[in-house]
């Protein structure tokens, strides 16, 4: 577990806030705790400050802890968030977990004793969830790249075969251009040039291997590097991230 946690606590009850702070400082002395009395004050502060973990009391003056949790989870899917409930609030705890809370803790008699363990477990659990999400995303991207490579090879084969037939027929006709009038020759040459251009493009696609991705201002882009030149690239946007992996 990270030794220096930056924790945000949303709690309007000063007594409970002090209990929370004392318990955390006794067990994680290098951690810092910032206390907010309302959900809006936390949201405002997060424009400048990033927290490693949030602890949110359910009963807040301006919104419920579940409402704040939903807002936070939508913005920060990998942030560990603990919901603090009152004694006998099992239904709220269930709702919190369904809404994306990493864990919950009730203000029971052993509240301060259990708090360090819950904080540690929530932090480690959310890090594992984030790691699994990144691995899943990499697997999806790898599968996409393999599909693109196979598709490119198939397209080259399926397009190149009839293309060779067209080119052969056009070249044969142009070899006997004495039998053709001027406008027909021009049209045949246009067909030949266009066919060769398509052939060149499909050839490049066929030679592109080692698919990778890179981040660009327009989103994540696909890189396929040609082994012949080492620098030819075909780029096509395949996803938008905003996604770190």
The pLDDT tens digits for 78-95 are 899 999 998 777 889 899
Average pLDDT rounded to a whole number, residues 134-155: 78
What pLDDT shows up at residue 245? 38
Residue 230 has pLDDT above 90, yes or no: no
Distance CA 236, CA 245 (A): 20
Strands 32-36 and 53-57: unpaired
The CATH number for 6-108, chosen from 3.50.50.60, 3.90.1570.10, 3.30.70.2190, 3.40.50.2300, is 3.40.50.2300
Distance CA 138, CA 62 (A): 40
* pTM listed for this prediction: 0.58
Distance CA 188, CA 192 (A): 6
For the chain, the domains span 6-108, 140-239
Question: pLDDT digits over 33-65, tens only?
Answer: 999 999 999 999 998 889 999 999 999 999 999
């Amino acid at each position: 577990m990270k030794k220096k946690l930056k924790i945000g606590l949303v709690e309007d009850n000063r007594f409970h806030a002090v209990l929370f702070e004392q318990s955390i400082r006794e067990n994680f002395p290098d951690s810092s705790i910032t206390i907010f009395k309302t959900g809006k004050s936390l949201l405002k502060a997060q424009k400048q400050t990033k927290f490693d973990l949030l602890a949110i009391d359910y009963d807040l003056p301006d919104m419920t802890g579940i409402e704040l949790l939903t807002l936070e989870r939508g913005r920060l899917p990998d942030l560990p968030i603990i919901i603090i409930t009152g004694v006998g609030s099992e239904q709220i705890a269930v709702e919190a977990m369904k809404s994306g809370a990493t864990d919950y803790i009730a203000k029971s008699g052993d509240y301060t004793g259990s708090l360090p363990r819950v904080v540690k477990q929530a932090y480690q659990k959310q890090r594992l969830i984030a790691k699994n999400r990144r691995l899943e995303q990499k697997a999806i991207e790898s599968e996409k790249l393999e599909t693109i490579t196979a598709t490119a090879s198939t397209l080259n084969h399926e397009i190149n075969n009839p293309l060779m037939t067209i080119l052969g027929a056009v070249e044969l006709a142009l070899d006997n251009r004495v039998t053709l009038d001027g406008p027909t020759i021009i049209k045949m040459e246009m067909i030949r040039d266009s066919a060769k251009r398509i052939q060149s493009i499909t050839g490049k696609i066929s030679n592109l291997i080692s698919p990778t991705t890179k981040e660009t201002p327009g989103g994540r882009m696909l890189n396929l590097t040609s082994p012949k030149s080492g620098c030819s690239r075909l780029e096509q946007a395949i996803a938008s991230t905003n996604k770190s992996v």
